Structure 1
């Protein structure tokens, strides 16, 4: 067992993929230089990753890490030593720490109990009070019972109970993390899609007469597993459980719907309603397109509905076997021009009538679902953004240049990212970010949800 053996760890990829929650709350670790902040961060995340050196100012930037305690996931932000009113490097470190506090849900304020509260600590306390954020006071370097009286003296700071710990040895770390969890905002309920171990759910979508029924009948006729009825208020669909590629998939049929109301709006209304109903119950959508005809507005509208619903996407071009070389050439140009917002979707070329290339459907589905559930570790994500901002900073607008302070992946299915920024990022720059994220980490077959959390200016009253 290493000295980092108390019961906590960062989320593994498997654990992270199973969790689809709201954005992880942020815990900022602040304090003056050399009080043991990075050692404490290493203790919390369960491994040596934060740089530790017995020299003040070694940690110069905010560095974010995934962590979990008692089943609760959160992001820890390690900061440089905070020396208020300093100039040069110290001032830059102080500004980084202030930014972390502005963006945090909870602040862990670390004080060296063996030294006691200094004038710098008092100044930091005043800044923390003005921030209005919950503060957990950490009395570090309490290595034994005899030193606990040193921790008790920190009540004088006036920000609540000091928690005596030894970041180096792990003493009382659990009690401290329990206090941090108690200060975190209430956890949002997780989203769930499929039953554990159940078939993945596939919505088969497309405009009328594009070949959906032919495709479903071909799949079911050749590889039928079971058929069961699922009751609904506005529809009576029959879901097909079909074995493909050695797995059972649940295809959500969108054909059955009772025209019970608003009949005057015509077939297009019901087609849209069927599509929305299927998407609500699906994890991945296969949009069937007639490759023998120019792509219609309704095709594009259905694809946009899938993207807006946040489901994984596969585009299947039906009647591919009927195309000559000239039509295939023009189809490629159509796809590039009209599907600019879904170039990331796997494409399969099939024939629903003859069954040609049906075997390509399963790899497309698996690729899209894998992308849909992909999570990037916070440390790797922030290294990516650091490199991105250094090489391609946001354009200066009106004398200001918004920056990405740090980022976290808030969830999966679809992958959701929250960018903590110093200002508004233009749409073009956000599209650039999405393109680079896909180049770096894949995300084939899934839309990406990228949102900003803009830091409010200090001193601004709510």
Structure 2
């Protein structure tokens, strides 16, 4: 169930600006004059991986029940009753006023979790007013600037313990939905032959000639009681060598199959593996964010070479760092060997591709990673990484929040990605990282 958060406070403390910031749109009217908001306004908010319903309320003022102000206050009290969490906002520039205190007592009596927000806290004067908010007895204030987006990381940290973990209330996947698996590779790698062996009939045309398959053909199949939709694709050659119009259409169809697949098996010819085009195909799969399995076809022709599999696995790790740990499975489509290990790897990497990591575990790991190797300093100021959250899966995508992240070296981002992959066992899947910062209100070049 989606939690509900209500924003309350006296007039003109920036409640509607905070509401707009959290929903990502200018839904609520904002003006310097107090009392612009009268009715409750609701929206769908997102902060990191927290999703919740947010309610903007009218400013709390003392008034008789019959008056307009009194009716506005009744609407705010109804929002407090409806909320799971209350954000009580004060103006850090002017500090705590006598009018704030009775309403602070009202939200305390509600028995709901309350987060005290000291808004407009940019600059030295703002921070002084934020410290003044301690006197309300609502705990430690969260200083932020809703207008400039500063302090949202601290708000996330305050909200996070009050929300259920997204892992705990996620929807169960439909067990009857077939897993979409695309088989791709260079021409004549044996893709159609392999699929014929999998489905147990000569469903696809095969032969020694390269480029027999033109359309991307989908076949429904079942492996150990699990539904699978297999996609056979045209062989992918170097773009410079693709001249025929029909072949261009076939290649476009194959690329479309990769985009719609969940797991992609890149089939290599074990007699000439890891050609430049093989690496380009893997790179394409990574860019599309698909889970990856590498199949070494025609393994029966090289199986007598001792240590070859270990050598090729090491070569894969060296040449394909962007999908480090991707399963490398020897097989023979012609002989029908290795299909079971291939499908085990497919389902395993699919599970990894869907994995979600709780924010608490991520941030515990992040602190250890930063302690072991702190981010570098820029112009004498150390880059500060505040927290991290997983914003989505399929593939795993993480957002890092902090200051001066635009100056974070790519080498440090790679360090974090490699450590995430190792710490949370994420082999064979692309990992996405977004760097997010609050805007600097004193930056004159900011639009």
Please confirm whether the aligned pair reaches a TM-score higher than 0.5, indicating the same fold: yes
- Please tell me whether residue 199 in structure 1 is matched to residue 178 in structure 2: yes
* Cα displacement (A) at 1:299: 0.6
**Partners in 2 of 1:317 and 1:264 — Cα distance?**
28
- Local SS of the residue matching 1:123: coil
**Partners in 2 of 1:210 and 1:256 — Cα distance?**
8
Call closer, same or farther: CA 1:25–1:440 in 2, change over 3 Å.
farther
**Counterpart of 1:370?**
351
Call closer, same or farther: CA 1:216–1:140 in 2, change over 3 Å.
same
Maintained 8 Å contact 1:245/1:359: no
Call closer, same or farther: CA 1:237–1:256 in 2, change over 3 Å.
farther
**Partners in 1 of 2:322 and 2:344 — Cα distance?**
22
Pairing partner for 1:123 from 95, 100, 108: 95
Deviates more, 1:292-301 or 1:211-220: 292-301
**Counterpart of 2:88?**
110
- Local SS of the residue matching 2:182: strand
**Counterpart of 2:324?**
343
**Partners in 1 of 2:96 and 2:399 — Cα distance?**
28
Structure 1 gap segments, 5+ residues each: 1-6, 11-23, 27-63, 73-106, 112-116, 126-136, 145-165, 169-179, 181-191, 225-234
TM-score by length of 2: 0.57
Call closer, same or farther: CA 1:343–1:120 in 2, change over 3 Å.
closer
* Cα displacement (A) at 1:312: 0.8
**Counterpart of 2:415?**
432
Maintained 8 Å contact 2:295/2:331: yes
**Counterpart of 2:427?**
444
**Structure 1 residues 9-51: Cα deviation after superposition (integer angstroms, max 9, x where no partner):** 79xxxxxxxxxxxxx979xxxxxxxxxxxxxxxxxxxxxxxxx
Maintained 8 Å contact 1:245/1:362: no
Call closer, same or farther: CA 1:436–1:322 in 2, change over 3 Å.
same
**Partners in 2 of 1:246 and 1:352 — Cα distance?**
21
* Cα displacement (A) at 1:383: 1.8
Call closer, same or farther: CA 1:336–1:289 in 2, change over 3 Å.
same
- Local SS of the residue matching 1:430: helix
Maintained 8 Å contact 1:285/1:314: yes
Q: Which one scores higher on RCO, CA 8 angstroms, separation ≥ 6?
A: 1
TM-score by length of 1: 0.56
Call closer, same or farther: CA 1:124–1:361 in 2, change over 3 Å.
farther
Call closer, same or farther: CA 1:330–1:372 in 2, change over 3 Å.
closer
**Counterpart of 2:371?**
390
**Partners in 2 of 1:412 and 1:138 — Cα distance?**
42
Pairing partner for 1:360 from 316, 324, 341: 341
Pairing partner for 2:289 from 307, 310, 330: 310
* Cα displacement (A) at 1:212: 0.3
**Counterpart of 1:239?**
218
**Counterpart of 2:402?**
421
- Please tell me whether residue 405 in structure 1 is matched to residue 386 in structure 2: yes
Q: Report the number of matched residues.
A: 296
Maintained 8 Å contact 2:191/2:232: no
**Partners in 2 of 1:138 and 1:313 — Cα distance?**
56
**Structure 1 residues 265-324: Cα deviation after superposition (integer angstroms, max 9, x where no partner):** 568745642331111221110110111114211111110111000111111111222221
Call closer, same or farther: CA 1:256–1:404 in 2, change over 3 Å.
closer
**Partners in 1 of 2:235 and 2:317 — Cα distance?**
34
* Cα displacement (A) at 1:142: 2.6
**Counterpart of 2:109?**
142
